[in-house]
Structure formats: C-alpha cells, structure tokens
Amino acid sequence: MLNESPFRSLSLRARLILSYLVILGIGGLATSIVGSYIVSSTIQMQVLRAVDNNLATARLIYDQQLEALKRTVELTASGTTVVQYLAAGDRPSLLAFLQRIRESSGYDFLTLVNERGQVVMRTSNPALTGGPVAPISVIRAAQSGKLAAATEIISAEDLEKEHRSLPERARTRLVQTARAEPFDRPEETAGMALIAAAPVYRHASAVPGVLYAGILLNGNFTIVDRVSNLVLRDDRFRNGDIGSVTIFQDNFRISTNVRLRNGERALGTRAAPDVERQVLGRGESWRGPAFVVNEWYLSGYAPIRNYEGNVVGALFTGLLETTYTSTRNDVILSFFAVAMVGFICIIGITYYMIRNITRPVGEMVAATQNIAAGRFDQEIQSESHGEIAQLAASFNTMLASLREMKADLEQWGLTLEEKVRQRSEELAAMQARVAQSERLASLGLLAAGVAHEINNPLGAILSLTALTLEDTPPDDPNRENLVEVVHQSERCRGIVKGLLDFSRQSKGNMQPLDMNSLLNDTLSLIGKQAQFFNIRIVKDQDPNLPEVIGDRSQFQQVFMNLLINAVQAMDEKGAITIVTRGTTDERVEVRISDSGRGIPPDQIDLIFDPFFSTKESGHGTGLGLSIAYGIVTTHRGTISVESELDKGTTFTIRLPAAAVTREVQS
C-alpha cells in the first residue's frame, strides 16, 4: 500500500473521468494543430493567389500604358504630316502639331531627331535644339529602322534638355527605413521613364529621323493608383489600405501608395535585402512574405527590364500580412471556441455516463481511440442514447463547422478571381469604347474643318460670279461660261455637303437617274481639263439602261472621283473604258476601266479606307474612294475593284434598279 501511486488511490469514477479527459485532451490538441494548419495554409494560399492576380493586373496595366505610348508615336511618325512639314521647312507648324499630340496624350516630352542623331525639335523645350540625342537603347533601335518601346533610365542632364521641370521631378531623396540596408548616397537624380521611339520615313528605304516620346514615372502615381482602384478598390483594414502597389527604380520606390507613419507616400524607401538580391540582382520574380517600410506584406515582385534586357526596376503588389493573420487568428479562435464548448459538453456527458453506467465501457474506449488517432474525416455513429450520443453529435458538429469554414475560404478565393476577371473585361471594353469615340470625334472635326475652309471661298466665288452675271448682257459670249461657273460652284457646295453627309450618313435628294446621261454630263464637265487632253474615252453604254433612285450630285461626285483617279493612274495618257449594263437580277452595273499602272495586291484591300492613298504626298488626301464607297453603300449598292499591275484597274458599281427600290420602299 505504501508504494501505491496517487492515481490508484483515486476512486473509480475519478480515475475514469481523469483517464478520459487525458485522452480527450490529446485528441483536442491534435485536432487543434491539424485544424490550425489547414486553416492557416488555406488562407495563405488564397491570399498569395490574390497577390499573383494583382501582380498580373498591374503588369497588364503597365504594359498597356507602354503599348499606348508606342502606338501613338508609331502613328505620328508613320503619317505624312511630319514629313510634309520637314520637306517644306515649316518649323512653326511642325512644332504646333507635335505639341498638340504631346499635350493631348499627356506625355512629358516628345522630340524629333534627324538621321545624324541631332535633335531637330523638342516640343517641351523648343529653344534647345541641335546637339546629340541621349544615348538610350530605344532611340538607337529606332535609328536602325525599328519600332521600339521600353522602360529606360535617363540622366538628370538629359531630362533637363527635354524639360526644365523634369530633373526636379526625377530627384528622389533616399529614405532609410527599418530592416533595409543603408544607401550609399543621399539622393538619386536620374529618372525612370516609359519611352517609345519610331523611325520617320521619307522614302521606303531611308530613315531621315526618329520621333520619340516619354512619360516620367518618378512621382507619377497614375499607374499605381489605377491598379489600386481596380484590384483593391476601397478595401480598408484598420483605417489603412489593405494592400499596396509600387514601381521601383533600381532598389528604391519612385511611385507607390505605401505610406510612411506621417501619412506621406514612401518615395525613396528601399526594398528588402532578400527581395533586392533576387529581383534586382538575379532578375527573378519574388512571391512570399516581405517587409515593406513599416509592415509585413504577402508580396509579389516582378523585374522591369529596359530594351536591352537589363533589370532597371521592379513592379510590386502586396496585401497586408496582418489581414491574413487576423483572419487566420479569428478562424482558429473560433475553432478553439467550438472545441472548448464541445470539450465542456463532453466532460458533463462523461460524468453523467459514468455515474449512471448507461453505456458499455468498451464503446467509450473505442471512441476515444479514434479521436486520439486523429481520424477527423469520419463521423461517429452511436446507436445508443445518452451522453456518448451527445458527444458524437457535438464532435460531428465541430468537424462540419471546420469543413464549412474551409469551403467558405475556397469560395472566397474563387469569387475574388471572378471579380478580377470581370474588372479586366470591363477595362478592355471601356478602352475599346474610348478608342471608337476618339476615332469618330476626329472624323467629325475633319469634316467640319473641310466644310468651313471650302465653303468660305466657294461662297465668295458664287457671289462674285452672280454679280458679274447680272451685269453681263444676254448676248455676251462669256455669259454661258459665267452661268456654268455658278452651276459648278453650287455643285461644289453640294460636294462639301456630301462629305459631311458621309460622316453623318444622312439621306440625299433622291430622284430617278439615268446613269448614261449622268456619266456623259460628268465627262463633258471634266473633259475640258488639260489632264484629259491625251485621254481616249471608249463608251459601251446600254441604250435601254434602267433608271436608278439616287442623289444626282452624289453620284456625279462618285464618277468624277473614279475618272480623275483613272487619269492620274495613267499619268494623263491612255484610254478609259466606260461600260453600262442592265443585269438579269434587275440591277444597273457601271464599269470604269483604265489602262494605268494598277494597284499592288497588298494595297487593294485598303483603298476604300479613309486617308489611305497610293498617290505621292501632296497629290491627294485619300478621301475620294472612301466617300465614293459611302455614297454607293448608302444607296444600297456595291462597289468593287479589280486590278493587275501595269495593265490597269476596273471599278464596278452595282445599284438596284428604280423599280426594285420602289418595291422595297413600299
């Protein structure tokens, strides 16, 4: 008896309760450890997936900004305006044109360089011209005839040449923060910019110059705020942003929404040493926890490279680790609370069971062995009634709660991915609508400008000719010519109206038309011009040609454009064949053929596009065939072209006969 242990000295009830509590405690501890691990790993996996999606969105927006810059520079450089101004030596007009592009696009600089690498014009610093261009790889690539765009580092000296304010914007005071290695200098004067450069072609094989533009990223929060608003929206945590977005130049922040303790943006702060070594040193991406200024973030870093492939900075997105740990702790605390409630219930049930001996001891031992073994993927079945049954129900409820929490977290991750996808689709649709709106606005401005510029001199011509006509005697031989001038001036005014109608798609003055008569009238009008003196006109007109319903002035404009284009394609020497036929499907067909040089196969699909022209610069605007196409299609007709190099081109117009048109309208 003296060697008997204290445990054996307890009553049987106490021994049973104590033994059961030990077993239950081990099982509860194992449940807590496994459950905590599952909860923690699941939440962290979902947060890191969100970080990956945010980083992909940030990279997409960053690349879209660079792509938009490249496309604008390419369109400006590939157009005829810059070359025409250069050829004419009209520097004021060229400067005004480029300044409008820079200001409307929001670029910090837009500069033109000649073929020798000398600056011809800086739109943001017009007084400083000449001298060599900055040694930037993007510009060198454009000088070799390539379209190039990348992120580049620009020295303070070169920035000052572009604009006097840029060096001050680029100057970054380097700030020391906790856990970051010290800087070896107090500030950085160079800047990081998005730059795009395109060659300006005067001839197909010559590169007379380069046009380049740039956006300075230092202190420019457009990209980071846009990404933050898109992926983080207004989510807050403890009165602060739930996440952050940053653009690094080398190893310090130049654009960020990370805040210092005083509320200012953390510009000039340094990246964590391990991030700096992997992302900036080895050019590899980073994914995981990182200390950012004052807080730990679950982070994603991606290197930013220049045109030559060298790492010049990094792009960062991250979510506060405290949001993850707070959610994790809340879930685990809830888990422990549920476990504690179950534990208390089990104690009471066990005491009641032991006292009343309502259940076999063997069944109780088997249940405790399953719990101690950590088998949480099964439910406890009890055919009896009483404490053990209640214990089984409580344990099953605890497992169901854990599984429900896990399912909720997985659903939260899927919902977040779906929202990111929807926001990306909305962004793409919005950009498409903006691009279409800008195109239509530009076309409207062009039409209004043309109408204004042409109508003023036409009005003066019409008024002066009418006054002269009133003072001319009826038998004066010049009276007939003056009448014709008045008539043709009015027709020109109609043509200008037709240009506006083309952009507005308005209806014209519809009436029955004889295409043979209309073609003959057009030939009599333009046939007196000098360019038609060496042209032979061959007519093959159907005398029984059906009439069509249309606007006479508009169709006269169509035929005039086609005839003049044919003469110019033949260099004012050759033959034009005009054929009219009525078809079996009650349509009227007009074919105008020339014996000119033809249209290259790679350009034949573009000839009806506005502002596209195969003529030399200064010999056309590229609107004639585009307007003709609009007029014909407005009249429910079709216009097609067939061409063979050095043999000629044939335009075919097919229109519904008047009878068909009236039948459709009725």
pLDDT band at 495 (very low <50, low <70, confident <90, very high): low
Angle between helices 91-105 and 12-78 (to 10 degrees): 160
pLDDT band at 528 (very low <50, low <70, confident <90, very high): low
pTM of the full structure: 0.48
Q: Taking Cα atoms as reference points, which of 606, 17, 53 lies closest to residue 355?
A: 17
Tokens of 570: 């033949």
Least confident of 420-429, 456-465, 544-553, 587-596: 420-429
- Amino acid 483: pLDDT: 82
Least confident of 226-235, 507-516, 544-553: 226-235
Share of the chain above pLDDT 70, in %: 75
Distances (CA, A) of 187 to 160, 170, 190, 597: 17, 10, 10, 64
Residue 329 has pLDDT above 50, yes or no: yes
Sign of the CA dihedral with 623 first, then 627, 628, and 630 last: positive
* Residue range 25-53, pLDDT digits in tens: 777 777 777 777 777 777 778 778 888 88
Amino acid identity of residue 322, one-letter, is T
Q: Name 112's bridge partners.
A: 121, 211
Tokens of 57: 């969105």
* Residue range 431-486, pLDDT digits in tens: 655 555 466 556 656 666 676 677 778 777 877 887 787 778 888 888 888 788 87
Say which residues have a Cβ less than 8 Å from residue 136's Cβ, sequence separation at least 6: 152, 154, 195
Amino acid identity of residue 422, one-letter, is Q
CATH 3.30.565.10 describes domain 507-665: yes
Least confident of 333-342, 374-383, 415-424, 567-576: 374-383
Residue 576 burial (CB count, 10 A) = 23
- Amino acid 596: pLDDT: 87
Residue 280 near residue 252 (C-beta atoms within 8 A): no
Amino acid identity of residue 64, one-letter, is Q
If phi > 0 it is left, if psi is from -120 to 50 it is alpha, else beta; for residue 623 that is alpha
- Amino acid 237: pLDDT: 52
Q: How far apart are CA 627 and CA 614, in angstroms?
A: 16
- Amino acid 437: pLDDT: 47
Q: How far apart are CA 24 and CA 369, in angstroms?
A: 9
Least confident of 207-211, 401-405, 516-520, 557-561: 401-405
Of the spans 204-218, 313-327, 363-377, 631-645, which averages the highest pLDDT?
A: 631-645
Average pLDDT, the chain: 79
Q: Name 223's bridge partners.
A: none
Least confident of 155-164, 460-469, 607-616: 607-616
Of residues 508 and 177, more confidence is placed in 177
Q: Does this chain's domain 48-323 share its CATH topology with 507-665?
A: no
DSSP SS3 for 316: strand
Least confident of 23-27, 208-212, 368-372, 534-538: 368-372
Averaged pLDDT, 3-7? 59
Domain ranges within the chain, ordered by starting residue:
48-323, 507-665
Pairing of strands 648-656, 587-594: antiparallel
* Residue range 126-150, pLDDT digits in tens: 888 888 888 899 999 998 889 999 9
Residue 650 near residue 590 (C-beta atoms within 8 A): no
Specify the CATH superfamily of domain 48-323: PAS domain (3.30.450.20)
- Amino acid 432: pLDDT: 57
